Amino acid sequence: MTKKKMTREEEYEFYAKPENQEPQGPARRRKRSNLTEMVPVRFPPETLEEVRRLAEADDRSVSSWIRRAVEHELEQQVG
């Protein structure tokens, strides 16, 4: 059975209840980021708006969405 993805409003209502604020399972340590340096990139306003829209739809940050797009392109070029 596939779980339906909650909207932000549904998430807010769900986690507003104290019984849904208890951690589940063992604690997990996040991996340290292996990112190296910031690279400033400029986009036309229309492109940036589309990237923001797609990132929001994927529930990702704009930076994360762009990194994934670049990684995908590199896989296509190299792989």
Residue 47 · residue 57 · CB < 8 Å = no
Residue 10 lies in a domain: no
Q: What is the pTM of this model?
A: 0.58
> Which residue range is the domain that position 69 belongs to?
42-79
Q: What are phi and psi of 30, to 5 degrees?
A: -75, 150
Number of domains comprising the chain? 1
Residue 56 lies in a domain: yes
Residue 65 lies in a domain: yes
Residue 6 lies in a domain: no
Residue 66 lies in a domain: yes
Residue 23 lies in a domain: no
Helix/strand/coil for 63: helix
CA–CA separation, 51 and 46 (whole Å): 9
Cα 49 off chain centre by: 16
Residue 70 · residue 51 · CB < 8 Å = no
Residue 54 lies in a domain: yes
> pLDDT tens string for the chain (79 positions)?
567 788 888 988 998 999 988 888 887 776 667 888 889 999 999 999 999 999 999 989 999 999 999 999 999 998 6
